[in-house]
Amino acid sequence: MSIANFVVSLSIFVLVMSALGLIFYIQMTNISDEEIVAQLEANVVPYVLEKEVFQFNDSDWCRILAYGNRTVSSQIPDGSPNCLPEALDFENEDELIFADLKSKLTNFYAISYERPISYRSEHAGLEGQTFGLGFYISCAFCRTRYVYFPEYESLPPDIDMEIWYTPINSNSYRVDQDWN
């Protein structure tokens, strides 16, 4: 098998696994994109805007919360600092906000700005722009996120077999991205 055939086979495998991960997630939750976005816009977005949250991560090795002028982080499980060296340690108010967000983000593990893929020519010229605030779902083999971007006018261009954008309503869209 040539390297080119291997790359094509691997790309197809990755695409199929990503699609299966998303299908599995949707079937397990049995909830439509419109329902997910409606829940986010009603229950999570107002809190995120009120607290000025622009980054949240609740992974198995690191917790991050960035809001207003403050960024805090801690490593898990021991709670030691430095998963973001420039960040401060969690204090009581930070813990409360983190816990509130975690309880609101039932099927999500992260929030961050949606940005262009800088290493791809399809997104050349978009550097430095943000396309809304992404809410990343907890899902094996997928990097799907729902992006809140009020009254967006257009979406970034899709990149074949890497990233694609699906409009949901006038304020939100879904991003599916290859997981490798």
pLDDT-based confidence at residue 85 (cuts at 50, 70, 90) = confident
> 27 falls in which pLDDT band (50, 70, 90)?
very low
For 130, phi then psi, to 5°, come to: -120, 150
C-alpha distances out from residue 122 to 5, 83, 85, 125, 154, Å: 24, 32, 33, 9, 15
Q: What are the extents of the domains in the chain?
A: 3-177
Q: Model confidence at 175, in pLDDT bands (50, 70, 90)? A: confident
Say what the pLDDT of residue 180 is: 65
The CA distance from 42 to 36, in Å, is 10
Question: Most confidently modeled of 2-6, 47-51, 108-112, 119-123?
Answer: 47-51
Q: At 71, is the secondary structure helix, strand, or coil?
A: strand
Contact criterion met (CB below 8 Å) for 178 and 18: yes
DSSP string, 99-146: HHHHHH-TTEEEEEE----TTSGGGTT-TT----EEEEE--TT---EE
Of 56 and 120, the one with more pLDDT:
56
Arithmetic mean of pLDDT over the chain: 78
pLDDT for the residue numbered 2: 75
DSSP state of 89: P
Residue 37 in contact with residue 168, Cβ under 8 Å?
A: yes
Please state the rounded mean pLDDT for residues 88-109. Answer: 89
How far apart (Å, rounded) are the C-alpha atoms in residues 54 and 14? 30
pLDDT of residue 137: 82
pLDDT score of 84 more than 90: no
pLDDT in tens, 142-158: 778 898 888 888 888 88
Sheet holding 145-148, edge to edge: 70-75, 62-67, 53-58, 108-113, 133-137, 145-148, 172-177, 163-167
